[in-house]
Chain A
Amino acid sequence: MNYERFLNPAIAAVPPSGIRRFFDMASSMKGTISLGVGEPDFVTPYHIRDAAITSLLRGETSYTANRGMPELREEIARYLEGRFGVGYDPATEIVVTVGASEAIDTALRIITGPGDEILVPEPSYVSYSPSVIFAGGTPVPIVTTRETDFRLTAEAVRAAVTPRTKALILPYPNNPTGAILEKDELEAIARVVAETGILVLADEIYGELTYGGRQHVSFVSIPGMKERTILINCLSKSFAMTGWRVGYACGPAPLMDVLNKVHQYAILCAPRPSQAAALEALRRGREDNYADVRKMRDAYDARRRLMVDGFRAMGLDCFEPLGAFYVFPCIASTGLSSEEFCQRLLREKNVACVPGTAFAPSGEGYIRCSYATAIEKLNIALERMSAFVKEIRG
């Protein structure tokens, strides 16, 4: 049967993620060292897993409040206040979602109407632009480059705003580049936001993972920005809890009311055992000054230095990433495209990376390498890549 006529053409036309093809290739090979993984290599700390088990043993298997368990929302509010100095009312300004993914999708759906433009800095996480299209809007890319270390500038935002612009997505610390934005840069962007009257979707899921003495500054902490921002966060990257699917959206009550309406009709609530685990993660974190997070961040930081040093030693241009757990070296000097580089590296050396083009056309010339992998494996991967680059250059 021809299913074409059943499908919504606007949705059918969105290409599958560029990551998909590499996934299929890499999955069919044995002994691959993958630097293509977008999640921590740590298992969720045991006390967090144990809290979920205990919750199940107690028979806590029912739905929770749509917005999430009240005690979890209270703990999220304390966390945001304590870590980033931003205050939210747990009753009216926080909704617990199924990962940050649901929060992004729902936030975009409640603000985007037909023809509305959403500004998407690129390269960035693969789901923003498709989600904008699914919501009926038009994604407008703002290209960031090596010249600014992939930082979004206020001028670039200003230049991209039109009368149809509804919102700016602000994804920092950034996947795939590892770039961050510092306070003065956020303040400059905030001025443009205030002047143009647009909304901001701040995706700060890597906020706990910043290095080089930089503390993450939440966009919401910039004066005047709380009422103009939907803040999206989750426990996936910071507490190594990807598979639990717990995230949250925070924002002004009138926006959260509508976000919760969509969430309630579509999802009902985030899984209860996962909420119990999230509650334990945040509560214990507050009590022990986030020992789990600190331990993992220190481990990432050592690997980050190892990777940057490794790529530079190969003669590849590699800016120093100050956030997330990715390095984004430039491979243009090898004469290969990102796609060719990654395909040949996989076939010839059994190391998987993701071409920068999977994150935006402007990612051409770059590859994303995740260092959320054991040091022994990173060292082997670097040796293989070094040999590969030497062979290419002859």
Chain B
Amino acid sequence: MTQLESRLLDLMREDCRLPLEKLAVMAGATPAETAEAVAELERNKVILRYAPVVNWDRTDRDRVEAMIEVRVQPQREMGFDAVARRIYQFDEVKSVYLMSGAYDLLVLVEARTLKELALFVSEKLSTLDTVTGTSTSFVLKRYKEDGVVFEDEHNDGRLVISA
């Protein structure tokens, strides 16, 4: 990755809606170089998607989230990747990670209601023949996500003018 690409990632991670011209100025490159670098990041699948960080608690949508610790029995010629692949294809599954420690996969699941989510675990996840056990924890409150704090922002307590 070039230094420009690295700078752009840092800037866009904070705000991916900055106009190209501003991004270019801040990264110290021309708009053309910047556009090319961003395109390269997209082509190489470094940048996969531009999506907002949403505080769903401030919407009127029903939504429950859970983190499910999954223990699996990896099968011959079908390691963890194959199991993960089977799991991540469910629409309910938002994220899947292979973990070190007491369990193997961490699965983040989202559904409209508790019942829906429970059904997903009991009927879809637990029934996979490679899954040997699950432990489900529901998310009660989100404080911070992707570096964004959900509680009211820290106020700028600095003096308005100082030397």
Chain A residues proximal to chain B, CB less than 8 Å: 17, 19, 22-23, 26-27, 32, 34, 36-39, 41, 43, 125-127, 175, 298, 302-303, 305-306, 309, 352, 354, 358, 375-376, 379
How many Å lie between the Cα of A175 and that of B27 in the bound state?
Answer: 24
How many whole Å from B118's CB to the nearest CB in chain A?
Answer: 37
9 pairs of residues in contact across A and B, judged by CB atoms under 8 Å:
A17-B163, A36-B160, A37-B159, A37-B162, A302-B10, A305-B25, A309-B25, A375-B15, A376-B15
Whether A352 lies near B26 (C-beta < 8 A) is no
Complex interface: chain B residues within 8 A of A17 (CB): 163
Complex interface: chain A residues within 8 A of B160 (CB): 23, 26-27, 32, 34, 36-37, 352
Whether B28 lies near A38 (C-beta < 8 A) is no
Complex interface: chain B residues within 8 A of A125 (CB): 163
Whether B25 lies near A19 (C-beta < 8 A) is no
How many whole Å from A243's CB to the nearest CB in chain B?
Answer: 9
How many Å lie between the Cα of A39 and that of B22 in the bound state?
Answer: 24
Whether B158 lies near A39 (C-beta < 8 A) is yes
Closest 7 CB pairs of A and B: A36-B161, A302-B26, A23-B161, A309-B25, A38-B162, A26-B160, A126-B163
Complex interface: chain A residues within 8 A of B98 (CB): none
Whether A37 lies near B14 (C-beta < 8 A) is no
* Size of the chain B interface, CB-CB below 8 angstroms: 19
B156 at the interface (CB under 8 A from A): yes
Assuming the contacts A43-B154, A375-B14, A375-B15, asked whether A305 and B28 have C-beta atoms less than 8 A apart, the reply is: yes
Complex interface: chain A residues within 8 A of B15 (CB): 375-376
Q: Using a Cβ cutoff of 8 Å, how many contacts connect chains A and B?
A: 61
B32 at the interface (CB under 8 A from A): no
Complex interface: chain A residues within 8 A of B162 (CB): 19, 23, 36-39
Whether A306 lies near B161 (C-beta < 8 A) is no
How many Å lie between the Cα of A37 and that of B154 in the bound state?
Answer: 17
Whether B161 lies near A34 (C-beta < 8 A) is yes
How many Å lie between the Cα of A34 and that of B160 in the bound state?
Answer: 6
Complex interface: chain B residues within 8 A of A302 (CB): 7, 10-11, 26-27
Whether A354 lies near B161 (C-beta < 8 A) is yes
Contact of A306 (CB < 8 Å), options: B10, B25, B158, B163: B25
How many whole Å from A116's CB to the nearest CB in chain B?
Answer: 24
How many whole Å from B148's CB to the nearest CB in chain A?
Answer: 13
Kindly list 14 other residue pairs between chains A and B, CB separation below 8 angstroms, not including A23-B161, A302-B26, A305-B26: A17-B163, A36-B160, A37-B160, A39-B162, A41-B156, A126-B163, A127-B163, A175-B163, A302-B7, A302-B27, A309-B25, A375-B14, A375-B26, A376-B15
Assuming the contacts A43-B154, A302-B11, A376-B15, asked whether A23 and B26 have C-beta atoms less than 8 A apart, the reply is: no
How many Å lie between the Cα of A36 and that of B160 in the bound state?
Answer: 7
How many whole Å from A394's CB to the nearest CB in chain B?
Answer: 27
How many Å lie between the Cα of A117 and that of B160 in the bound state?
Answer: 34
Contact of B158 (CB < 8 Å), options: A37, A127, A303, A375: A37
Contact of B163 (CB < 8 Å), options: A26, A38, A375, A379: A38
How many Å lie between the Cα of A43 and that of B158 in the bound state?
Answer: 10
Whether B159 lies near A23 (C-beta < 8 A) is yes
Whether A26 lies near B161 (C-beta < 8 A) is yes
How many whole Å from B50's CB to the nearest CB in chain A?
Answer: 17
Complex interface: chain A residues within 8 A of B156 (CB): 41
